[in-house]
Structure 1
Amino acid sequence: MKIKFSSPGKITLFGEHAVVYGRPAIVGAIDKRVYVTMEERNDNLIKITSDLSSVSISIDEISNYSGPLIYVTKAIEILSNYTGRKKGVNIIINSEMPISAGLGTSAAVSIATIAAYSKILDYNMNINEIAKFGHKVELEVQGIASIMDTTISTFGGIMYIKPNDLIERIKIDYEIPFILGYIKREYNTAYMVNKVRSLMNKNKEIIEKIMEVIGLIVEEGKKAILEKNIEKIGLLMNINHGLLDSLGVSTKELNDMVYLVRKAGALGAKLTGAGGGGCIIALCPYNENIRNSIHNAIESVGGRSISITLSEEGLKEIKN
């Protein structure tokens, strides 16, 4: 049996890091996806191949794995333990976006792996259960995680999210044009989340105030999106980036891209995701000359520029 699922990446418009501490966030699925192809074996071996790495390991030893494919192995481990069922599989992972870049690839691969492996195990899961198990994978790998990334990877669209399970779909009838700027990441999500947690423990009163203001930005951002106020969206992105920088999650390379794309004509720009390298998002006017200038600005400092659109499509099975 061969099964294939795909799940979208995402951009965080507002609220990363603060969402971990009880504040809201707004996140949108994008038109770049992760694909997980899974084929049943006749033994207990888990064989994974991807652009990032490859591994071949017995399912009985999978809990000992701590390498770069840990989101895949952890998803298999959690689902096997929960269902009491085990099957060896060959897994091929393909991504249309950079890995470990703040685009939610870990959530996307977790969700797609759970969906595919549950089908291999002949264990029926509804879409809400898949989202729940995806979040459990991120919690076990990272130690702390919001429902943000796994929710958007499962359902797609633009979501207003609070950690108390309040999820509201934001419906829009217009395009919000973005360009991504990517630079190689220096630190992974778990490191950056723990870095902010350490800062919170040392300076609780100050950092709580920063999180509170980010929460206010999210609420204003939601209003601006619904009101089609593109200029205000850009302004709020700029403020949000400054606060994220104050938390120590930006880098010189990310800041260089942010300031250069603003100078090139972006209406707003900020890092997206956990930071420590990875991606920025630039809110772009519809003027083609300005868009070209933004692409050039990103590439002038060694970044990779990628045009993206927001997508309503979430997890889906791909049938031949």
Structure 2
Amino acid sequence: MKNILNSILAGMLITLASCSDGYIDDITPVPQGTDASAPQIQITSPSGNLTIPFTDTKTNIKFEYKVSDDIELGSIEILLDGVKLGTYSTFKDYRVFIDSYAYNNLGLGDHTFTVNAKDLAGKSSTKSVTFNIDNKYTPLFGEKVYIPFFGGNTFTDIVAGKVPTVVGTPTTVATGYTGATYQGATDSYITLPLSGLYSANGISFTFWYKVNATPNRSGIIVINDDNDNTNDNRTKGLRLFREGGATSQTVKLNVGTGAGESWNDGGNIAVDGKWVHVAVTVSPTDSKIYFNGVLQRTATFTSFDFSTSSTITIGSGAPSFTYWDHKSDLSLIDELRIYDKALTETEVQNTMK
């Protein structure tokens, strides 16, 4: 024990001797130096144009910026469209100032956010960013229809601004894949004109789907055959539907080929309360069904025939495919997109991002 104490005392004496011999420098004041540069300004937000939901005309925005100086900041002011928002002259860090400013209810159109800064030597800098706020949607994947189901029982296609025809009392609820979502109801669905939504290269649909097994079968998307509202004739148009039991539902597709029909028996979706991304592609030679970007089944044929079709129904088999009880779907449908071509597998997977 005595040896240990002696060792500790010896170490302390060595440390004190080192300090007194000048091995640790004293704190020496450093001159401030010459102010050589004007303040540097960086605006990090907004970084570009903003697109807001088509139903909105105003949005909330947060301006974010950074100002630094080689010696010491003197003052900073921020402006929006030439109107001063704030002025700052006291800084915790006298060389660097990082700040954000929340602005509510900024309207559509072009806007300019400006930061002016001065240092204590009188040198000044200005930086501005110009951006546009728009409520028009630019298709991300070349889609001809995009219905995001924003809420408030809004079913509008935001690509072309088409307002669907509403039958019955479908609604939107807040528990969607992204925000609000379509909620089906008995004897209810929406329809859009088919014109412009397909081409000689085919048609595709993508959407997020949370299946409700009650009723145990229903229509999901139907390209109506105008000449077959009562008869069991499927040589024209298209029918995407589901059927099964309380634990599993099979999503299937029927395509009219003109002289006949083609069946795609698709795949099974577990009734487990989870969202599934569904994609359906129809080309001049085949149809394909994908779940979560994975191909389930392909059916081949020689052509498709929509010559007697003028509308597309979402959320039901009505009006031309209500036989076999493929009526309204009470499931949730979100992020519906329609394309005027048959998507490739890679394109299908990209729409999930």
Shorter-normalised TM-score: what interval? under 0.3
Question: Which structure has the highest strand share of the two?
Answer: 2
Question: Which structure has the highest helix share of the two?
Answer: 1
Taking structure 2 as the reference length, what is the TM-score of the superposition?
Answer: 0.26
